[in-house]
Chain A
Amino acid sequence: MRPEPGGCCCRRTVRANGCVANGEVRNGYVRSSAAAAAAAAAGQIHHVTQNGGLYKRPFNEAFEETPMLVAVLTYVGYGVLTLFGYLRDFLRYWRIEKCHHATEREEQKDFVSLYQDFENFYTRNLYMRIRDNWNRPICSVPGARVDIMERQSHDYNWSFKYTGNIIKGVINMGSYNYLGFARNTGSCQEAAAKVLEEYGAGVCSTRQEIGNLDKHEELEELVARFLGVEAAMAYGMGFATNSMNIPALVGKGCLILSDELNHASLVLGARLSGATIRIFKHNNMQSLEKLLKDAIVYGQPRTRRPWKKILILVEGIYSMEGSIVRLPEVIALKKKYKAYLYLDEAHSIGALGPTGRGVVEYFGLDPEDVDVMMGTFTKSFGASGGYIGGKKELIDYLRTHSHSAVYATSLSPPVVEQIITSMKCIMGQDGTSLGGGWAAWWLTPVIPCHNQGKECVQQLAENTRYFRRRLKEMGFIIYGNEDSPVVPLMLYMPAKIGAFGREMLKRNIGVVVVGFPATPIIESRARFCLSAAHTKEILDTALKEIDEVGDLLQLKYSRHRLVPLLDRPFDETTYEETED
């Protein structure tokens, strides 16, 4: 068993297979022994039976409750900022203060206004003040250390000037570089350079016309082998993969059940499809089951006709929460209710599972159970683009009906080569491309490329566990699953968003801070993305600085009292319908 996370002593009843039934819920339910006894007396321990046997490994996910004082202070903070915002707007309107932002042309002043004034209130008065934490330009490989171009602002972030200095060697905790393939040396880069020489950078045509290169066919075959599915198809942009293929799969008369915290691309694809969308609470399987039951029993809203298809949209790792989807339960539900599952593995492919095959391998499930396996090449493969894998009929259909195949340019050849080389590295083959076919793959000698793929995956897992454990011990509130390489650290108060980002940069660490509207208004956070390229020294340095800044800004909110997830009561109001 792994070492116990958390500094406080915990008493948990754990079964041999790692999951829990009829006992204290293991999911992030941590109490010290004294408190546990007291709580038991008070009847607070909830006995929840988890579907024992579905989970082959412990599933530790936790979202600690926001401390009440912090929530109140956060609202007060936003209130003060809003008041000041109104004051500044007033001053700008009466020209007491100089107006920095761009304005409409003189000739067009009486046109219908292009933007709603209120929409921009947040941007003008809150976002602008801490704008220097985002869009930081870099000028080196986004590896474990990165060079950031220094910029200065003399008018409170309305405009930036580059000083010409470059801050070198900043520890990069913001780029999605899970397996460390963002490199400018090594076999991947050499292969890509060769292909660039031969093929050029662009393609100038779509897949269905004359843009289908032999490289694309090679890539798709490799992706299918990597995932363990029958066939796969690759696209030029991960975002577009979702927004262009979901409309091809479902349409009017179909139902989409989408997780609360799904990515914008999934939401856009669902809306563009014209199907009815219902949202279930984040990772909450009772909510999903209720929606499925009601959908099948009551049919379409007014006509009561049965639904044509039901599609469940989930992600492998949710990048803002750091949580992992409860895939075994979703698959059990999908089989019971005959729905289809669309799994978006943008962050989890390459990052989870003993050999990096994603969340399906992490839970030890069969890839054939997932109807549509989608993912991107941006995060773990150091390239760009997306893919969809599944049965051959599905891929054939997408080849003919996907918007991207008909109207959008295909992937650029050097990018394709980078994906092929990095995927082969992860699979443990050598870097040169082969003609394909099972015999060739089997007979290829295993030659280590820059760092054997499996080692990268293991290094990432170790880094994840170590980093999360140390942060929890320090007393920060960390959301999400213990095994997810995305680590959100809660900041809550608006001023701390800016302060954290700036203080960390002063100490030569680049972090990503996120606030409203990407997160709920009081739950702003800093998000660390771990990488296999981070060595233990780098992590230790980072942890030391985070500790310092945490003390400086008083960020150690955790009281080690976590809310068991399955206890969140769901009610009739989880059933929402959006009319499109």
Chain B
Amino acid sequence: MATATEQWVLVEMVQALYEAPAYHLILEGILILWIIRLLFSKTYKLQERSDLTVKEKEELIEEWQPEPLVPPVPKDHPALNYNIVSGPPSHKTVVNGKECINFASFNFLGLLDNPRVKAAALASLKKYGVGTCGPRGFYGTFDVHLDLEDRLAKFMKTEEAIIYSYGFATIASAIPAYSKRGDIVFVDRAACFAIQKGLQASRSDIKLFKHNDMADLERLLKEQEIEDQKVKLKYKYKARIFLEESLSFGVLGEHGRGVTEHYGINIDDIDLISANMENALASIGGFCCGRSFVIDHQRLSGQGYCFSASLPPLLAAAAIEALNIMEENPGIFAVLKEKCGQIHKALQGISGLKVVGESLSPAFHLQLEESTGSREQDVRLLQEIVDQCMNRSIALTQARYLEKEEKCLPPPSIRVVVTVEQTEEELERAASTIKEVAQAVLL
């Protein structure tokens, strides 16, 4: 019975074959031939990895010579020989054996030498020892850290603050915690190296706008809006603002709260303010402050916070005391501003050097009015000026950069720093010394 049905099916098939139109049969025939060809053709090899014999491989390994680990550094490289400061880098320091007045350390409020700060740090040292022996997550959180975060948040009038144990790592860890691949960041050209490294670690798209040029920033934002289709610029274009205030914290504003106080901006409009405590607060480390929504995220994603030991408690205690002093004498900020203005005016009109920087800023640069054409030559000239000033007891320094790594390398310059500890007479003396030396060297 089964064979009959089979036969019957076969007959049906043969019949169908006869009745099929010609093109159908031809098409099927071509397809069958194609399949047979594919089955028997060789598979396509991407790379012949096994072509080299073992002997050839060994020869290659023998022959390969790597570059030396580091290229040799010439002995007269300007950065190789550091200035040695014997003793504390306070107002009067001993640099390379010569006693000088310090116009180079970022000790804006003179708190490096303050006995109250030292006493607070000493008390903390006697209680906790030096190191914290662990990151914040693993028994490295001390009550001093929590205290400092609280005080900073209150001082800056924000909800929360987070501290880091290293100033450079603060903004360099904060940026990649929020901004990832696929995000876009608009950065000022003159942003500091720490910000550049943070941006590099974040792998976001970066658009640079000209230094302090809001029109340029608006142009970039408009371009981005068109592409997307989709303080006043922030709300118009829906961008967030991160502010880096390392040099303006403790300097600008009536109470030293920085740029936001100086311009009277509501601090809630800024998403994140980052600063380091190594300038005005004369301690070590850095902090970020802002709303809890923003700052809390860093407690789990800030690399420099989670994977690094916390700030030694004596430095945190020193920072708290420095904050206390800042809160108690709000008058020092006005004094500092005045001194800045004074020396700014006094240094105008030096032949060969021009003053670069706002008159409000306690750290400004002296650049060569006319560059000689080669950066090395410029650097050498400026170093000559610096050395001669040091011989006359004024300690200055050149602003140092990593020439090959900076995105937008500023021209070489001498950095002059004003602190509250410098008397008017010293400022006058510094100005006149620089004038004389510049005249002697550049003419």
Contact = CB atoms under 8 A, between A and B. Distances in A.
Interface of A: 101-105, 107-108, 110-112, 114-115, 123, 127, 134-143, 146, 148-149, 172, 174-177, 181-184, 188-189, 192-193, 196-214, 217, 236-240, 243-244, 249, 263-265, 268, 271-272, 293, 296-297, 306-310, 336-340, 371-372, 376-379, 381-384, 393-394, 396-401, 403-409, 412-415, 418, 510, 512
B169 A105 contact: no
Interface in B300-324: 300, 303-304, 306-309, 311-312, 314-315, 318
A20 B388 CA distance: 67
A177 B102 CA distance: 38
A176 B133 contact: yes
B142 A137 contact: yes
Contacts of A172: 139
Secondary structure type dominating chain B contacts: loop
A135 B293 contact: no
Interface string B190-215: 00111001001100000000000000
Contacts of B139: 136, 138, 142, 146, 148, 172, 174-175, 510, 512
Given A142-B140, A203-B89, A408-B168, 15 more contacts: A136-B141, A205-B89, A205-B106, A205-B397, A208-B82, A212-B85, A236-B284, A237-B168, A238-B308, A378-B132, A384-B131, A384-B165, A400-B80, A403-B405, A510-B139
Contacts of A211: 85, 89, 105
A175 B136 CA distance: 11
B65 interface: yes
Contacts of B306: 264
A149 B172 CA distance: 31
Given A189-B129, A209-B104, A296 B60 contact: yes
A177 B118 CA distance: 26
A268 B125 CA distance: 32
Given A135-B137, A412-B312, A418-B131, A407 B168 contact: yes
Given A193-B122, A249-B69, A111 B240 contact: yes
Chain B CB within 10 A, most for which of A143, A188, A268, A338: A268
Interface of B: 52, 57, 60-61, 64-73, 77, 79-80, 82-90, 93, 95, 102, 104-107, 111-113, 117-118, 121-122, 125-134, 136-143, 145-146, 159, 165-169, 172, 178, 192-194, 197, 200-201, 235, 238-240, 268, 271, 276, 278-279, 281-284, 291-294, 296-297, 299-300, 303-304, 306-309, 311-312, 314-315, 318, 395, 397-402, 405, 415
A473 B396 CA distance: 65
Nearest to B399: A209
A193 B137 CA distance: 28
A378 B107 contact: no
26 contacts: A103-B293, A107-B235, A137-B141, A142-B132, A142-B134, A175-B133, A176-B133, A184-B128, A200-B112, A201-B284, A202-B283, A203-B89, A203-B278, A207-B82, A210-B397, A212-B83, A213-B85, A238-B309, A239-B307, A264-B306, A297-B60, A382-B129, A393-B70, A408-B166, A414-B121, A512-B138
A134 B292 CA distance: 19
A118 to B, nearest CB: 13
Given A103-B293, A208-B79, A415-B130, A139 B142 contact: yes
Sorted nearest first, the 9 A-B pairs with minimum C-beta distance are A237-B166, A397-B70, A102-B293, A201-B318, A239-B308, A212-B82, A408-B168, A175-B133, A418-B130
B122 A308 contact: no
Contacts of A208: 79, 82, 400
Contacts of B126: 184, 189, 193
